[in-house]
Amino acid sequence: MKWTPELRGEAPPLMLVELDPQAVIDGERFDDTYLAQDVVPAGAMREFCPACRKGQLQLVLRQDNVRVAHLFCFHCTRCFGALLEDGTPALCE
């Protein structure tokens, strides 16, 4: 069965792994935060941030200063990669 957005409620849960922001975004470090200019999220995911559990994760696709598609939490500014249950990456490049 092909996964479509209409079936989001029944999609298998994603495994989230925290990524080093410096590995996925070209940005600059200011004290304890890492900022990048002009990173535009493609949309909100149904998953919430597993670290702070307050921010809804945003899908960020590859763009000028984004090297790897990832999920981003605006609340705690952490970056996550998503894997399917069998360990294959859930985000396409």
Q: Please give the residue ranges that form the binding site for Zn ion (CB under 5 A).
A: 49, 51-52, 55, 73, 75-76
Q: For residues 44 and 76, which CB has a smaller minimum distance to Zn ion in the complex? A: 76
Tell me the C-alpha to C-alpha distance, in Å, between residue 48 and each of 26, 28, 32, 60.
24, 25, 22, 15
Q: For residues 7 and 23, which CB has a smaller minimum distance to Zn ion in the complex? A: 23
CB of 82: closest distance to Zn ion in angstroms?
A: 14
Q: For residues 11 and 52, which CB has a smaller minimum distance to Zn ion in the complex? A: 52
CB of 75: closest distance to Zn ion in angstroms?
A: 4
Tell me the C-alpha to C-alpha distance, in Å, between residue 88 and each of 67, 76, 80, 83.
19, 26, 14, 5
CA torsion 26→67→85→1, rounded to 10°? 140
CB of 6: closest distance to Zn ion in angstroms?
A: 27
